[in-house]
Structure 1
Amino acid sequence: MLSLFDQTSNQSQNLLPFEGDAFYYGKVFSFAEATSLYQNLFSTIDWQSDLIKMFGKEILTKRKMAWYGLEPYEYTYSKVKKTALLFNDTLLQLLKVVEEKTGETYNSCLLNLYHDGNEGMGYHSDNEKEMKEYGAIASLSLGAERKFSFKHRETKEKVNLLLEHGSLLVMKGETQKHWVHALPVSKRVLKPRINLTFRTVVL
């Protein structure tokens, strides 16, 4: 298992040892900027409990989510169809920053609000049929620092890192094909975190 908690961030270094591309840019916003963005998004985003289907039943999650886009795109997530709200000014500004940092383009954003470390996400891949195949996904973290884990589908090899307040992680290439990722729960985390994943929907 590779752990990156104590290593200096370097976006030119691929975090994954093989069959995928993931780059951690570290903090792309200052503490003050990241805190202001967090407060803005916390109060202005149309947060909703995520409705997922498990074992034939619909379940409302404690974690809140929101789906935004340059157009009212539709996509199916956890077997539930969702329609994007239009980007507000803050999301448009963040889209521009993320595109400049990563050299990629995106047209939509899935946001998640985790109230504390009791809320997380199990291992999964972001490979919904509406998403651009092998397209880049840029993950911006605001709020509480959280552990993030990659696991290879075949070898089960793991790569762990700490997502900092105001930091940016990019996954692209064949990452979603060969790796799954998770946000593990942690009772030590007492504060909320907002995660924005910029991605590309193919019409």
Structure 2
Amino acid sequence: MSATLFSEESKDIKPIKIKDGEYIYVPNFYKKELADKYLARLLSDIHWKQESMKMYGKEIPFPRLTAWYGDQDKPYSFSGITLQPHPWSPGLLKVKNDIEPIAGVSFNSVLLNRYRDGSDSISWHTDAEKELGKNPVIASVNFGAERKFQLKHIETKERIDIVLQHGSLLIMQGELQHYWKHQIPKSKRVKEERVNLTFRIIK
């Protein structure tokens, strides 16, 4: 197996505790060769779409492409839109099975984001929709261009920056979604694509 899936090492992965939350970051969860294969497959096989949201009476397109996959009875609503899931692909199921031993939960859905270059982004937000439950565990798997992931505490404004590498795994858990916003800012220096898979549990 070419993935660094932590047979013995997994017990040594410990959450990084921060004020009002915690996260796990594994920078080289997948080795480059396998990460390259996943990226190519995701770019070619996923049903990508540019969604839009209504703001000030206008339809504003999201600055990225998205897709929603998972169990067929698990739609997802955010930013005024509701996504109906595509059925799991074999590749997405493989990633899901790889990360669940680290996350300690069984995911039933995944939101995919495709950032075509550094001009694509996602602004400050929390993943605190009611269908995600009280303290959601959200696992983010990253392929392609490195992008800066930023956390900002809602009350103290403390900020944490994490560079998400090709093949990395980030898990947000505990009370983090109640107290911390997160974003992927624009970056003029990034010219390559990035695909991000955020696995979730829809209640």
TM-score norm. by structure 1 comes to 0.90
Runs of 4+ in structure 1 deviating by more than 3 angstroms, as ranges, are none
Deviation of residue 89 (structure 1)?
A: 0.7
Q: CA RMSD, aligned part only?
A: 1.3
Partner of 2:51: 50
Aligned position for 1:200: 201
SS at match of 1:87: coil
Unmatched segments (≥5 aa) in structure 2: 1-11
Q: CA deviation at 1:31?
A: 0.4
Q: Is the 8 A contact 1:147 1:160 kept in 2?
A: yes
Unaligned runs of 5+ in 1: 1-9
> Match of 1:99?
100
The whole-number CA distance in structure 1 between the counterparts of 2:102 and 2:173 is: 14
2:131 match: secondary structure: coil
How far apart, CA to CA, are the structure 2 residues paired with 1:156 and 1:188? 26
Deviates more, 1:137-146 or 1:64-73: 64-73
Residue 160 of structure 1: how far off its partner (Å)? 0.5
Q: Once structures 1 and 2 are overlaid, which stretch shifts more, 50-59 or 167-176?
A: 50-59
Amino acid at match of 1:73: K
Match of 2:27 in 1: 26
Aligned residue identity for 1:12 = K
Deviations 1:43-68 (A, max 9, x none): 00000002222223222234110001
Report how far residue 104 of structure 1 moved. Answer: 1.9
Moved more, 150-159 or 130-139: 130-139
Partner of 1:188 in structure 2?
189
Instruction: Give the alignment of 1:72-83 within 5 angstroms.
Output: 72-83=73-84
Greater alpha carbon shift after TM alignment, 54-63 vs 75-84? 54-63
Distance 2:70 2:37 in 1: 22
**Contact in 2 for aligned 1:49/1:61 (Cα 8 Å):** yes
Alignment match, 1:12: 14
Secondary structure of 2:169's partner?
A: strand
**Separation of aligned partners in 2, 1:132 and 1:87:** 22
2:148 counterpart of 1:147 = yes
Would you tell me which structure has more strand in proportion to its own residues? Answer: 1
Aligned residue pairs total 192
Does residue 131 (structure 1) correspond to residue 132 (structure 2)? The answer is yes
TM (norm. structure 2) is: 0.90
The answer to whether the Cα contact below 8 Å between 1:139 and 1:197 also exists between their aligned partners in 2 is yes
Alignment of 1:151-162 (within 5 A): 151-162=152-163
| 1:67 match | 68
After superposition, the Cα gap between the structure-2 partners of 1:13 and 1:47, relative to the gap in structure 1 and judged at 3 Å, is same
CA distance in 2, matches of 1:122, 1:50: 15
Using the alignment, how far apart are the partners of 2:190 and 2:43 within structure 1?
A: 18
Contact 1:20 1:174 in 2 (8 A): yes
